[in-house]
Amino acid sequence: MNNYEMMYIVRGSLSENDANNVAGEVEKKITSFKGKVLQTDKWGKRKFAYKIKTMTEGFYFLTNFSVNPLKLKELVADIKNMDNVIRYLVIKLPEKALKEKKA
Q: Give the CATH number for residue 84.
A: 3.30.70.60
Name the pTM for this structure. Answer: 0.86
| pLDDT at residue 94, as a whole number | 86
pLDDT in tens, 33-91: 999 999 999 999 999 999 998 999 999 999 999 999 999 999 999 999 999 999 999 99
CA distance 55 to 48: 8
| pLDDT at residue 56, as a whole number | 94
Whether residue 76 contacts residue 2, with contact meaning beta carbons closer than 8 Å, is answered with: no
The parent domain of residue 43 ranges over 2-102
Give the chain's domain count: 1
Q: What separation in angstroms does the CA of 39 have from each of 30, 53, 98?
A: 12, 28, 11
* Dihedral angle computed from the Cα positions of residues 11, 83, 18 and 30, in that order, rounded to the nearest 10 degrees: -110
